[in-house]
Structure 1
Amino acid sequence: MKTAHDLVLAAKTQCREVSIEDAQAALLSADVIIDVREADEYASGHIAGAINLPRGLLEFKLSGNPALEPRDLNVVLYCKTSGRAALAAASMQSMGYLNVVSIAGGMDAWLAASKPVVKPAPTQFE
């Protein structure tokens, strides 16, 4: 019986990861940056320009958004540590997406490298 870890390892053999050192160049050339973490994780801080499509909804959100349907989009994915992003990349490749990369080490590696994050402004109620 396979474990989640087994599935992630298999996905990582099918997808391309970029190092933190090469992530900035990948982000600059991306048509879309997708944070596949959950909404609360995204709200706690994310990479500038990233949209939030949680891993559990990814395929449905991609299929339901005409702007995300072109299979030749340059896509950069990330999550907390890179496991969900690898699974997402493998899934997108099986859907026919041609240019998908994930950030090795995910948001944890991004933060450890002191890279900038965006946090939404708190909602003000008066």
Structure 2
Amino acid sequence: MKNAHDLVELARAHVQEVAVADADAAIQAADVLIDVREADEFREGHIAGALNIPRGLLEFKLSGTPELAARDMSIVLYCKTSGRAALSAAALQDMGYLHVQSIAGGFDAWVGANKPVVKPSLPSFE
């Protein structure tokens, strides 16, 4: 019987992970950057330009959004530590997407490398 860690490791063996040091170039070359964390995590901070499509909705959202349907588009994914992104990348490959990468170490590695983070600001009520 497999656990979540086993599934993540299996996915990582079949997907391309890009190192944080190379993530900027991968993001610039990508057609879309997808943050697969939950909406509350995304609101706490995210990489500029990322679409928030939580892991649980990813396959449905990509299947139902014509702009995201092209199987030859270049996609970069990330989550908090890269487990959900690896699972997401494997799922997208199973769906026929040809150019899928995930960021090794996820958002935590991005922040740890002092890369820029977008944090939505609340309006001032003063």
TM-score (ref. length: structure 2): 0.97
Gaps spanning 5+ residues in structure 2: where?
A: none
Per-residue CA distance 1:66-122 (angstroms, 9 max, x = gap): 100000111000000000000000000000000000000000000000000101121
Provide closer, same or farther for how the CA distance between residues 59 and 125 of structure 1 changes in structure 2, counting only shifts above 3 A: farther
* Residue of structure 2 in register with 1:70 after alignment: 70
* Residue of structure 1 in register with 2:5 after alignment: 5
Structure 2 distance, partners of 1:8, 1:66, is: 28
Structure 2 distance, partners of 1:57, 1:51, is: 12
Structure 1 distance, partners of 2:73, 2:118, is: 23
Structural mapping, 1:36-51, within 5 Å: 36-51=36-51
Per-residue CA distance 1:5-49 (angstroms, 9 max, x = gap): 000000001100000111010011010000000000000000000
* Residue of structure 1 in register with 2:52 after alignment: 52
> Secondary structure of 2:13's partner?
helix
> How high is the sequence identity, in percent, across the aligned residues?
67
RMSD of Structure 2 on Structure 1 (CA)? 1.1
* Residue of structure 1 in register with 2:30 after alignment: 30
> Secondary structure of 1:75's partner?
strand
* Residue of structure 2 in register with 1:116 after alignment: 116
* Residue of structure 1 in register with 2:94 after alignment: 94
Structure 2 distance, partners of 1:123, 1:68, is: 32
Moved more, 90-99 or 115-124: 115-124
Provide closer, same or farther for how the CA distance between residues 70 and 113 of structure 1 changes in structure 2, counting only shifts above 3 A: same
Matched positions, count: 126
Gaps spanning 5+ residues in structure 1: where?
A: none
Provide closer, same or farther for how the CA distance between residues 57 and 112 of structure 1 changes in structure 2, counting only shifts above 3 A: same
TM-score (ref. length: structure 1): 0.97
- Structure 1 stretches of 4+ with a deviation exceeding 3 A read 123-126
> Secondary structure of 1:43's partner?
helix
